[in-house]
Structure formats: C-alpha cells, structure tokens
Amino acid sequence: MNPPNPFLRLQATGPAANAVSLDEAEGPVTVRDLGKLLTEAGLTWDAFINAVWNLGVADAGNLLRYLDAAVFKGSATPEALRFHLRFLRSAPPADYPVWEDIVRSILDDRPLSDSSERFLQNEGIDRLWRQMLATVRQEKITDPDGRSDPRLLVQSLFRFLELGDALIVDDPNIPVVLDAVNRFGSMRQYFGQHDVPRAAIRQLSTAGFDANYLVFGSQDVLSRSNYDQPDRRAAWRSEFDELITTIVGTEQAPPEIELGIDRFKFLGELADDREMVKTENSLPAARRLAARLIPLLRARKLVLQRLRLLVPASVLDEYIHRIERYAAPSDAGQARILGKLIARRSTKSVPELFFDDTRLGSWLFKPDGIVHGEICRILLDPAVPLLEIWQEPYSEFMAAIPLYPGFNASRQRCVLVETYHFDDRISDLLGRQETLSFMLDALLSDAFLGQAEKLVVFAAPWGRSAIFADYVAELAKQNEAIRYFESYEFEAVDPGASALQNSLTGQFHYTESLGYNRPLKGVIDFGFNLVGHQTIDKLVSGGRGVFEIDIQAFLGARHLLNSIPDKEKTAMEGSEAAFFDRQGDREAELTRRSGEKLKQAEFSLRSMLPDAHLEIHREIDSVTCAELLVLHRQAFPEYAFVDEQYYTERMRQRDATLIVARSGGAMVGMALTFCSGLLPNDAVYIDELAVRADQRQKGLGSALVELAVRTASGRGIREACLLTRFDPAGSPLMRFYEWLHFRAEADYPDRGRLFRRSMSLFGPENREAIDAILARLEARLNATVPQLRIECFTAITPGLIEMMQSLETVFPEDIRYSWDEFSDRMSFRDAYVLVVKSGDDPIGFTLCYHDPILPDHVMFGDVLAVKQEWQHKRIGVELVKTVLEIPALTNYTDFLLYCTERTKDGKSLVQYYRYFGGRVIDVADKVRMLIPLRENRAGSRRSHLPSLGRTNGCGPEACLLRLDVKRARPLRSRYPLSNLRASRSVTALGSCRRS
C-alpha cells in the first residue's frame, strides 16, 4: 500500500476548527459543552473526574478556566481538548493561572504581563519546545533563538501540539525542519553553519545578489502609518455586505459557488440584519449574520473536500476567515488602536511560519492548505527568502511573500513574486488601495537592497494573490516602468533547489508560475492552478503572463530611493561570497587529498599484502556489482539472498562511498559507507565491511575501516557509526572495533550493537600526520632556536592560558585577550595551540580553531605572537607554514586571518600573506584575508619565501615582518563575538558533545 502523498493536500487533517457552533458560543461555555466535547474526544466524565479528583477546589477551578480559554476560545476540537488535558497533567497546578493568563493574552492580542513573560522565558517556552521536539522523536540540543515578543511562538507551539501526529504524518519534512532548528537554534543559523544550504547561498552570491541581506537579514525595509479608524470601521461594514453578496448571490444572479440552499429564502432571512449593519453599523447584527453563514460554509466545504473539489473548498475557507472577524463577542477588536504597517526581512521563524492557511487565505500553509508541504520546502531553502508584513500592535504577521531571485532571458537579476499570502486585517489601517501601494513599494525596496534589477509579478495567480496582481495591472496602464509580457523566460539562481536534498516530500518547489514539483526554470505564461487528483496542471483558460518592473526607474519616479534604509549588519557579516566561490578548486583539492590518503593506505597495506591495490568508487557498474555479490557470499554465506539491487540501492544513498581492495586483480575486501537521515548530518554509517576468508588476519579489515574513516573525515564528517552482532565483551569482534577506537553505545534487539567513533582534526586518524608536521617544523627551527621544544595543546592545561597571556604582551594592551576569552576560544571545534620553546622558556605561540560563525571548510587563525627578541628568527614564518598544513588533514580548504595593512615600521603585511597565496576579501578596521589550503595555489610562493635580507616585491626585509597582528574579532570591530556568542557557542559545544 502506497503512503499518502504529503506534497499535495487532498483532504483535511481532521474536524474543522471551531467545532462548537457560533450559536452555542454566543453565551458562556457550559459544563454541558465540556461534556459534549469530552464525548467527541473519546473520553468519559468518570475519567475526567478521576483526573481532577485530588486537585484542590481552587486548582480545579483554575483548570476549568484554562480549558475555557485554551480549548473553547480556541479551536474547540476534540484533538485540542485531548492535548490540553495531557498538558495540564504534566504541569504543576500552581502554573494553571499563569498558563491561562498567557493564553488569554494571546487570544486578546494584548501584551503579556511581566510575570507571564518571565515564566515563559524561564521555563514555559522550553517546556513547550521540548514537547514539540518529542512529537518528532528528537531531544533538545540547542535553545531556539529568542523572540522579542514570544506570543506568536507560544500560539504556534500550542497549535502544533494540538494537531499532533496528524500534522507530522501529513508532511515528513516537518522533522527535517525541526532538526535544523534543534541543532542550530534557527533556520538562519542552519543556513550559516550547515553544508546542505550553502550551495544555494553560493549561487545567490555568484549571481550578484546580496546573499547576506537576503538570507541573513532581519531588518525593517519600509513602514507606513496613516489611519482614520472610524472611517475604516464604516468601510468594514460595507465590505462585509459585499462579501455576503459574493457568497449568497442576489435575486438576479447566483453565487460563484453553489451552497445547496434556497437562495431566495436565505436572502430574505438575512435582509433585516444586513440593513442594520449598513445603516446602524450594528455589531450584534454582524455577529448574527456570521452565525448564520459560517456553519453553512463549513458544511459545504466538507462536501467539496470529499468530492475532491479542492479549489472551491479553499475559497470557502477564505470566506469563513473573513466572516469570523465579525463574529467576535464584542467590538474590542474593531476598536483596536492600530500603529503602522512594517515590511520586514523574514528570519523564517519555526514553528510560527507553519500556520495558517485559513488566516492567510493560502494553500501553501498548514494545516489544510492544498500544497501545505511547500512551506517546509521554502523554510529549508535559503534561495527562497521571505518578506513579512506586520501591523502594530498585532502579534501575528499579516502577510508572508515568498521571493524567487533569478534571471530573465537577458540575464538581468530579477526577483519573481507570484503569490502574496495575507491576513484580511492587513487593510484595516490604510484601506485596500493604500495597503497594496505600500506592499509594492516594500517589495521594490527589498529587491533593490538585495541587488536585483527587476521585480517580476506573476499576472495570473489564484485566490487572494490575484488582488495584488490586479493592482499592478491597473498601475501598468499609467506607469512606463511596468511592462507586461504574455510569456517570460525565468531561471532561479538555484533551479535544482540544491538546499532540498534532504527534503522527504518533493525535491523541487511548487510555484503557480512554473509548476508542481519542477525545477524553477522555464517560460512563465499560464498559471498552474488546475488541481486534479495528485496533479496540478496549467489552467489555459485563465490569465497569463507577468509584469516586469524596472526597480530603479519605479522607485526614482516615486521619489523613494532616498528613503530606502541602509543595510544593517547581519549574522553572517562581510563578504560571504568569498567563502563560497571557487567551489571547483575546493572539490578538486578534496579529491586530491582523498587520493593521497588512498595511496598512503595502499603503501602501508603492502607490507602484509604485497600486490594490494585500493580503489574508491562513488558509483558502481554491473561488473563491480557482480564482484561485490561474489565477495559478499563468500564473507557472509548466511546472507546469500542479497542480489544486485542490494548494492545498487545502497550506492544511491547520500555520499555513498565504496572502498575496494584487490589482490592479483581480484576483489578481496570492501567497505561501504553512506550518510543516513537517521544519524546526525555530520555522521557516516559504515554499512558493510567484508574480507575474503583467505585474506583475513593480514590487517586488511582494519586498513579498510581506517581508510573509510579518513576519507569521511576529509569531507567534514565528525562521527562514524556501525552495527555489529551481539558478541560478548572481549570477543575478537569486540576487540577489533575497540582497537579501531570505536565504543559500544547501545544494543538494538532487531538491529544489532551500535558502535560510534568520534573524529576530529586531532583524532587518532590524523595522529601520525600531525606528528610528522610537527617534526618538520622542529627540523626547520632547530638551527635557530637552541634547546628547541614544540608543544601542541588541544585542551586547556594548567598554566597554558597564563603562558599565552604573557606572550601577548607584544600586543597593545587594549587588544589582548582575557582569561575567559582564551577559554571561550579553546572550546571551539578543532581548537589548538602551538607553542615554541627554547628550553623551558616559551618564545612564541599561535592559536587556531574553527569559528562556529564561519563555513565548515574555513579554519581561523586567531593569534600569532613571538617575543620581541626572537622576531628575526623566522619563527613566525614557520608557524604560518605549519598552521596552513594542519587543517588540510580534514575538510578545511581555506584559512582565514585578520591583519593590519602595514606594520608600525611600514612593512606590508597584506603583501606578506600574499606569498602564502592569500587574497583580501574584506577591509574594515582590519584586513580580512583568505588563504586557500591547496597543494599548488595560483599566486602562492610558499616554497620560495625570501631568505633573511633578500630583496623582493615587499621590500628588502619582507621575511622579517613582525607577525604580531591579531585577530578574528578585534574588540569593537565589525565582527564582534559578543553579539554572537550566546547563540553560537552553545551550538559548537553541542556538536562536540554529540561526537
């Protein structure tokens, strides 16, 4: 039986929201209402009474008040009741009033009390966050990024937990998104620190867009405030009457969607209340009209969903949302003092952006949008940024607009806007026309800041988005900066959606302009709005084309260029593109290193197997597959049922690697590894290790495992996992893996015994290579440093920090590191200190590490200090050579450092580091330089560094430059650690603990 297709929504996840009818909800909720909902939830009064029997009277009252707010003033569904009862069971009764106050603050859209806000920050959010992660079988790793106003986060967490398993079954990408947020704290941190989304960021940068702004920005782009609320309230009544006409029709014309009622009779029943709304602005009459219409629309919506008429069902969903605004028990919401509209770069907050398809009138959002799985794909892809619209003082965003940066046929940078998902309240402040004008100005300003040249608006969207497209169409009649095209060629910067390689529901996006689960590339004409059974096709009977807006010309004509805000510093500050360009060179270097590891392993193996030959395969052909089957049946005769498909499927796994050992041309051993979604993203699974029986006890098995580990380490893997039989402790199999530095973690009766091995730059897989590098350093300095000693530290030992502080006295006092700052840096991944001593006297040191704000492939050189009297002995030069060798043992392909442009005596440090292949990528208070870690680098003269006193392009004494310049984040620099440490260092430490 095939699993349901979560890409395309075919039916609702469960009962409609607000199951208690408005007729019943007019008065206070009664105990009878609770009993009815208990029955619908499959619970009995006896079970409920037993649950509250031991509560105090006051606590029981608090429980009922909480249920009144959280369930009956909310969705009022059986699923919600079941969740909130479970939630209360896990919470101390003393917390019931606090949770009730929090829920009512959210419902009334009023600020949280100080005590409620403190409670949420101290424990409340953490409790809900952990429960959300538990639904996808994850344990909390990292704290989520903080919110200035936590109300929407709490509301979304409750919404997620109320829907429960149905939400996750509907979209397997939810655990993928939550894993990213759980590991890194936010989607932005995930984009900045994980390999998968980096290709998309690189594509944005190389295309000429400002990836820092589009991916990592969070600033306000535009705001506007100009309101007259009494007039707006009158306009609401008029709009409400127009909506009723659209829904029910008139005596002369039927409605767009047949409701299955006697239209003429129903119009007569509504007539008196409609008149009172129009002439007296009567809110009670508006509520009575809503109470008649909403149950009718809900019933018809369910009928349409069962008939798979999904588009009209979604239209009714939008009608319901708009009417619900008039169903409030008071006019408090209508009398709200509105502040201003704000367009803001989205940080892609989770789970806030999961919801809500009804409120936003969109089929992209959960829980019931037709293609609600698309929101997870948008969240996972940094190449599809979002612009949000907020309206003060509401705690919910009023609109979310996906943006698609790319190129037109002329290769001009453009941003495609095809759908505009908004809450109908967005027009309450300025009115519809002024709101649409604000929306267009905001989109153009945002695209301008993102370095786009054109804004492209799809002319034929479905639903609410058509309102914006129609506005642009009217504007095009009078504005020469807007051009219409019936057909328009467009290609996104990353049409293959490389950031979705972990997506479990569709490897491409759904867009109305380019299609269903297709690459973002092609000719835009008609919209993909024709929904069928598991299909979405072009609606050729509908509208077509796009409006192309010249951003500079439009903003200039509207005199808006001078009002565009300056770009704010982002979490990934600086020339981010420099870290991601030259991808081909980096891949070639990693491939070369892999080949070197292969040759070294082969050379070592030949001491036991003289004609040994090793191969690495990323793909296999039928011949290799047949050889694997022969070897497998010899090594594991009990698994003779394995066929060719077995290995073909395994080689399709992510980063699958096959290592083959041959002797005399025949395959005598193999190791197969791949990455699995069941493991952390920086872990590799050793799926199979096989050695032919007559070739065992020759070191072949351990050589294959060690090569597999080193090969994976060279690609940034930090952990290796495998499953074995349940052999007893001390058995040959257990000793074999323990000797290879694996440790037993857990037993799974149906799978086997899980072994793990952590890997790092200074792990056992690199120990011999590190010793060799340090031996070469010692050989180069022996002649100039008497009683030379080289020491390497990868953790803080007694006296180490004090020693570094004493050597830092060569720096000005205001830039020296404190004890805590050194300690903080030594906690980062692959941190190490190299110390040069003459006898027992330290004379120089360098500190390097992987800074968690940098890409995974960039090592950072933070400090290099040499005592004044030793600065003419080439100690600094040799330390630089060494720190460029060490990180190349794993996945590091670039080395970042900061320096001043010149020394105090006028020598060019920039030119000096260019001798090592460095290039300037950023200039602020310090020069930021990137040195590629390559065997042969263009422009590098590392093997020809000038000797003492030799004349060269840097001046007569370039080799004597004082290497006393620091550091990654100078105090009060453009890249302050203090702004990032709280959210980032936890991630770095968490990664170490996991490995």
Q: What SS3 string covers 338-364?
A: CCCEEEEECCCCCCHHHECCCCCCCCC
Residue 378: name the closest of 399, 395, 400, 394 by CA: 400
Distance between CA atoms of residues 156 and 352, nearest Å: 5
Look at residue 239 in the predicted model and tell me its pLDDT. Answer: 76
DSSP state of 75: T
What's the distance, CA 517 to chain centroid?
A: 20
Query: Cα dist. 339→12, 343, 345, 601, 755 in Å?
Result: 36, 13, 19, 68, 58
Encoded tokens for 313 = 């069902």
Confidence of residue 191 (pLDDT cuts 50, 70, 90): very high
- The better pLDDT of the pair 217, 336 is held by 217
Confidence of residue 823 (pLDDT cuts 50, 70, 90): very high
Confidence of residue 23 (pLDDT cuts 50, 70, 90): very low
Distance between CA atoms of residues 244 and 570, nearest Å: 47
Look at residue 672 in the predicted model and tell me its pLDDT. Answer: 95
Query: Is the pLDDT reported for residue 944 higher than 60?
Result: no
CB neighbour class for 100 (10 Å; exposed up to 12, middle 13-18, buried from 19): buried
Look at residue 854 in the predicted model and tell me its pLDDT. Answer: 78
Tell me whether strands 858-866 and 894-899 are parallel, antiparallel or unpaired: parallel
Question: Torsion angle, CA of 270/276/282/288, rounded to 10 degrees?
Answer: -10
| Tally of CA atoms within 13 A in the half-sphere of 28 that contains its CB | 6
Global pTM?
Answer: 0.56
Place of tokens 């001798």: 915
Distance between CA atoms of residues 719 and 709, nearest Å: 9
Based on DSSP, count helices (H) and strands (E) in the chain, helices before strands: 34, 30
Encoded tokens for 35 = 């009993």
What count of residues does the chain have?
995
Tell me whether strands 488-492 and 666-675 are parallel, antiparallel or unpaired: unpaired
Distance between CA atoms of residues 940 and 916, nearest Å: 5
| Tally of CA atoms within 13 A in the half-sphere of 333 that contains its CB | 16
Distance between CA atoms of residues 950 and 956, nearest Å: 6
| Tally of CA atoms within 13 A in the half-sphere of 761 that contains its CB | 26
- The better pLDDT of the pair 511, 325 is held by 511
Distance between CA atoms of residues 685 and 673, nearest Å: 5
SS3 for 690? strand
| Contacts with 375 (C-beta within 8 Å, 6 or more apart), sequence order | 353, 354, 364, 365, 366, 369
Could you state, in order of their start, the residue ranges of all structural domains in the chain? 229-324, 341-571, 583-754, 764-994
- 307: how many CB neighbours lie within 10 A of its CB? 10
Look at residue 985 in the predicted model and tell me its pLDDT. Answer: 25
Encoded tokens for 899 = 């320096």
Confidence of residue 9 (pLDDT cuts 50, 70, 90): very low
| Contacts with 771 (C-beta within 8 Å, 6 or more apart), sequence order | none
SS3 for 530? strand
Confidence of residue 17 (pLDDT cuts 50, 70, 90): very low
Look at residue 261 in the predicted model and tell me its pLDDT. Answer: 87
Query: Is the pLDDT reported for residue 310 higher than 80?
Result: no
Look at residue 260 in the predicted model and tell me its pLDDT. Answer: 84
Look at residue 961 in the predicted model and tell me its pLDDT. Answer: 33
What percentage of the chain exceeds 70 in pLDDT?
Answer: 86
Average pLDDT score over residue span 37-66 = 89
Look at residue 540 in the predicted model and tell me its pLDDT. Answer: 84
Look at residue 899 in the predicted model and tell me its pLDDT. Answer: 85
Write the single-letter amino acid at 385: P
Highest mean pLDDT among 497-506, 525-534, 636-645, 790-799: 790-799
The packing angle between helices 283-306 and 310-324, to 10°, is 160
Average pLDDT score over residue span 964-980 = 30
Determine the straight-line distance between the first and last CA of the chain, rounded to whole angstroms: 38
Min mean pLDDT across 287-296, 414-423, 442-451 is at: 287-296
Look at residue 941 in the predicted model and tell me its pLDDT. Answer: 42
Min mean pLDDT across 53-62, 151-160, 219-228, 256-265 is at: 219-228
Judge whether 84 and 34 are in contact, CB under 8 Å: no
Look at residue 295 in the predicted model and tell me its pLDDT. Answer: 87
Partners of residue 685 on adjacent β-strands: 674, 721
Place of tokens 């790092």: 760
Average pLDDT score over residue span 526-551 = 85
Place of tokens 């096709």: 537
The packing angle between helices 31-40 and 78-90, to 10°, is 100
- Whether the bond between 585 and the residue before it is cis, its omega within 30 degrees of 0, is no
Judge whether 865 and 808 are in contact, CB under 8 Å: yes
Confidence of residue 325 (pLDDT cuts 50, 70, 90): low
Encoded tokens for 618 = 């990323």
Confidence of residue 982 (pLDDT cuts 50, 70, 90): very low
Encoded tokens for 340 = 């201003």
H/E/C letters for each residue in 754-787? EEEEECCCCCHHHHHHHHHHHHHHHHHHCCCCCC
Query: Is the pLDDT reported for residue 69 higher than 60?
Result: yes
Distance between CA atoms of residues 322 and 676, nearest Å: 45
Look at residue 634 in the predicted model and tell me its pLDDT. Answer: 87
Judge whether 687 and 724 are in contact, CB under 8 Å: no
Element (H, E) at 596: helix 583-605
Judge whether 898 and 970 are in contact, CB under 8 Å: yes
Query: Cα dist. 451→211, 759, 969 in Å?
Result: 9, 41, 28
Look at residue 236 in the predicted model and tell me its pLDDT. Answer: 64
Do the domains at 583-754 and 764-994 have one common CATH topology?
yes
Look at residue 336 in the predicted model and tell me its pLDDT. Answer: 57
DSSP state of 491: E
Write the single-letter amino acid at 712: A
Look at residue 644 in the predicted model and tell me its pLDDT. Answer: 80
Partners of residue 847 on adjacent β-strands: 833, 863
Look at residue 327 in the predicted model and tell me its pLDDT. Answer: 57
Write the single-letter amino acid at 419: T
- The better pLDDT of the pair 577, 210 is held by 210
CB neighbour class for 54 (10 Å; exposed up to 12, middle 13-18, buried from 19): exposed
The C-alpha angle with vertex 531 and arms to 525 and 537, in degrees rounded to 5, equals 35
Q: Where are the alpha helices (DSSP H) in 681-833?
A: 700-713, 732-739, 767-781, 800-807, 819-826
Encoded tokens for 271 = 């007539």
For 733-776, write each residue's pLDDT tens digit.
899 999 999 999 888 888 889 999 999 999 999 999 999 999 99
Q: Which CATH superfamily is domain 341-571 in?
A: Gcn5-related N-acetyltransferase (GNAT) (3.40.630.30)
Average pLDDT, the chain: 83
Average pLDDT score over residue span 40-47 = 87
- Whether the bond between 312 and the residue before it is cis, its omega within 30 degrees of 0, is no
Judge whether 963 and 807 are in contact, CB under 8 Å: no
Judge whether 6 and 170 are in contact, CB under 8 Å: yes
Encoded tokens for 325 = 């605004």
DSSP state of 901: S
Encoded tokens for 477 = 């009649």
Look at residue 748 in the predicted model and tell me its pLDDT. Answer: 87
Distance between CA atoms of residues 629 and 821, nearest Å: 56
Query: Cα dist. 976→115, 192, 570, 941 in Å?
Result: 33, 16, 12, 33
For 387-426, write each residue's pLDDT tens digit.
999 998 888 999 999 999 999 877 789 999 998 888 888 8
What CATH number has the domain spanning 764-994?
3.40.630.30
* Greatest distance between any 2 Cα atoms in the chain: 106
What CATH number has the domain spanning 583-754?
3.40.630.30
What percentage of the chain exceeds 90 in pLDDT?
Answer: 44
